[in-house]
A and B are shown apart, each in its own frame.
Chain A
Amino acid sequence: MLNFISDTRYLFFKYLKLTWRMPMWTFFGLVQPLLWLVIFGQLFKGLSQLPQFPEGDYVQFLAPGVIVMTVLFGASWSGVSLLRDLRHGVMEKMLVAPIMRSSIVLSRLLHNGFTVVIQVFLLIVVAALIGAGLPQGQGLFWVWVVVLLLAIGFSAISNALAMFLKQEEPLVVMGNMLTLPLLFFSSALVPEAFMPPWMQIVSRANPVTYGVEAVRACYQGQFHPPFWISLGVLVSFSLVSVMAAIMTFQKVE
């Protein structure tokens, strides 16, 4: 167990070092969500004038959506760096080392969660500056939990897919095919009331919906049962996908 923790820690720091050494890449990773916030904020501004719209200002409504979107997009590419490890033979070297497969997986997921958390931190600051406000009360704490759970869950799926597909092109296609529908079948960009009933039903099976609702609750400072339900769903979602990722790594033919 001690080895497990130290292995995970060393690998986590290794990945962190790699990210740190690609400052340009990290910079674009940070800038991209800000662009989303500005572009979507302008594009859908008029929506808030509609009678059914819950919030007074669209940016206030959108900020939690863009936070979840950043997590979703950021996490869904984490499998690509696994392919890099595979291509360079680094993965093979890790697999023949006397370490547990789960520590390889976990170090990758933690690293991804960490980078997403930093992105989201910047995003929250900028969103506050353009009038989206800040998470209220204990929301300042819970918002990180929600983001971390989502990030780990989705990067686990991406890593599992990468390990299964072993090729970049299909992984990119799959990533695109999953992220956009997940986003549109949630209340990230438009209120749930705007969706046709069948979409509302589908969105109930979408972890992104729960993420958006939980972040929105943090912003509104409303920690009622719906928030705890969302949190519960997110916890089980990330647990299941982490288990799945570990299983694909442990699968030895």
Chain B
Amino acid sequence: MIRIDHLIKEFDSVRVVNDVSLHVDAGEVFGFLGPNGAGKTTTIKILTTLLRPTSGTVTVAGHNVMDDPLAVRMSFGYVGQQSGVDPALTVSENMILQGHLYHLPKKKIKERMEALLQLFDMEGRGGQWVGSLSGGLKRRLDIATALIHEPKLLFLDEPTIGLDPKSRSDLWTYLRRLNKDEGMTLFLTTHYLDEVDQLANRVGILDGGRIQIVGTPDQLKDSLGHDAIHLSFDQLVGSELLETFRKKEWFQEVIQQGEGVRFYLQNGQQLLPKVIQWIDTLNLSAKSVLLTRPTFDDVYLKYTGKDWALANENTEDEWGAWGGSKNNKWAKKWQDKAQSSESEWVEGSESEGEQDWKKWAGQEGGYGSEGHKGASSGPSRDTNQTSLEDPSKADVAEPVSEDPPWKKWGDQASTDWSSDEKNVPDQAPPLEDTSPKDHQSSEVNPDVADPPWKKWGDQANSNWSAGAESGSGKKMPENDEPGQSQWPNDEASDKNQKE
């Protein structure tokens, strides 16, 4: 029915399909499997005369796609990735139009339409708007419409994409019926492994434009061995160990998948305990073990080297396709640029944040020392002074004060900063660097009634005060008045003053 020999398709000298040869007999259900960009859709478009092969011969139903495209088009039905039926027309209008486009006489169109609606359990829906149909029904109508001219071959490009599980299995039933009852040849591409497993007599796996393997689903699974052992480890297994695994005579195939390793072997049940013992001798400990039959997932993993879930993440970008290679280059350039500048930015912001932080700490040091001075000269004056001169202290003295200016500073401060301060009242940071000194001050001035910074000192975060100290060390000489010297124990400020 389909003969593809050494098919090559290039777009702008990029090989999308690379030397594909494939024969599909009449009455077969052939499943074409592969990740996005493997060349499935390109192949199906060549088969349906939407694209021209770069080289190689392609014959569909005995007609060469290059020499006689009209005859080829007459011989097959096609269900594309998008719906293909016009949502602004009714079910029967769509089918009648399709019949006319295939040049059928009116009477024939009517007969076929009735038969097909019946076959797909859509009787009585002829007058319904296509736009009002559910996804599953629309897909059925799609297939029915494609069959109006009684083709012996049906191409389906990802037929069940976007359908719910029920609609999918329904659709499979219809497709099976078409194949069994009508003897129709089906050629389908799909992403879904279970779809191929359920429907196809034969499967071809395509990756990177090449056919990796063709066979019945069971053949493909058996090629891996009778059983599969999935072992997962705590860390990634190195390539040396993988080599050791591969050399072991028990295994037919060893495939790494993330932190796990899959072993394929003939006699899994008996070998499993030995395998685990052997793994132990290699100083590895398995986190989990699973013994199964190889699934299509395993087959896929082997022949495309890709994990199913990972492979499907890269979806084709329509914009990229539109812009061509030039656009992609630009996109790449921009991406690179964005990435590099992002990293720069992150570094920059960090260092800037740090500087800010130091600056703040320095300023706070100033406040703190002033506070000490006030404290030393007596509690009454202290409160007085603070409320007049230093808003930070005013707020400390009266924690409920309504306009705390450091609220503003808090906004400017880097986020790590504020997160460090969870247990400290928001006005505390400015005064925090007093913490190393506050016990000294209370020693020096035992008469001070209740040094507020004692409280702050207790609450202070050690990281914070360390940073603040270094900051205050720099700034103190400028900020502090000579009165500062009354704390001889304060080595930092003392030293600074000496300098």
A contact residues vs B (CB 8 Å cutoff)? 3, 6-7, 10-11, 14, 17-18, 21-22, 85, 87-90, 92-99, 165-167, 170, 252-253
Contacts and interface: CB of A to CB of B under 8 A. Distances in A.
A167 B319 contact: yes
A17 B89 contact: yes
Given A98-B73, A166-B322, A167-B319, A7 B86 contact: no
Contact of B102 (A89, A97, A170, A252): A97
B338 interface: no
B103 A98 contact: yes
B101 A94 contact: yes
Interface in B75-93: 76, 78, 80-89, 93
A89 B74 contact: no
Nearest to A22: B88
B51 interface: yes
B282 to A, nearest CB: 53
Given A88-B82, A96-B50, A98-B102, 17 more contacts: A7-B101, A10-B101, A14-B97, A17-B89, A18-B88, A21-B88, A88-B83, A88-B85, A88-B86, A89-B84, A90-B86, A92-B84, A93-B145, A96-B48, A97-B98, A166-B322, A253-B51
Given A10-B101, A98-B74, A253-B11, A90 B84 contact: yes
Size bracket of the B interface: 20 to 34
20 contacts: A6-B100, A7-B101, A10-B100, A10-B101, A17-B88, A17-B93, A18-B88, A88-B82, A89-B84, A90-B84, A90-B85, A92-B50, A93-B98, A93-B145, A93-B146, A96-B73, A96-B76, A97-B98, A97-B101, A98-B102
Nearest to A3: B103
B493 interface: no
A10 B49 CA distance: 23
Interface of B: 11, 48-52, 70-71, 73-74, 76, 78, 80-89, 93, 97-98, 100-103, 145-146, 318-319, 322
A246 to B, nearest CB: 16
Q: 8 shortest A-B CB distances, which residue pairs?
A: A89-B82, A89-B84, A93-B84, A97-B101, A98-B73, A10-B100, A96-B78, A92-B80
A236 to B, nearest CB: 31
A167 B80 CA distance: 19
Contacts of A165: 322
Contact of A96 (B49, B86, B87, B322): B49
Contacts of A3: 103
Contacts of B11: 253
Nearest to B70: A98
Nearest to A14: B97
Contacts of A85: 86
A165 B74 CA distance: 29
Contacts of B318: 166-167
Contact of B73 (A10, A14, A92, A97): A97
Contacts of B101: 7, 10-11, 94, 97-99
B380 to A, nearest CB: 73
Nearest to B101: A97
A165 B80 CA distance: 21
B249 to A, nearest CB: 51
B49 A87 contact: no
B103 A88 contact: no
A89 B87 CA distance: 11
Nearest to B75: A98
A90 B130 CA distance: 13
A88 B87 CA distance: 8
A252 B74 contact: no
Q: Which of B11, B51, B84, B93 has the most CB of A within 10 A?
A: B84
Contacts of B103: 3, 6, 98
A88 B70 contact: no
Nearest to B93: A17
A3 B84 CA distance: 22
Nearest to A253: B51
Contacts of A92: 50, 78, 80, 82, 84
A125 B318 CA distance: 46
Nearest to A92: B80
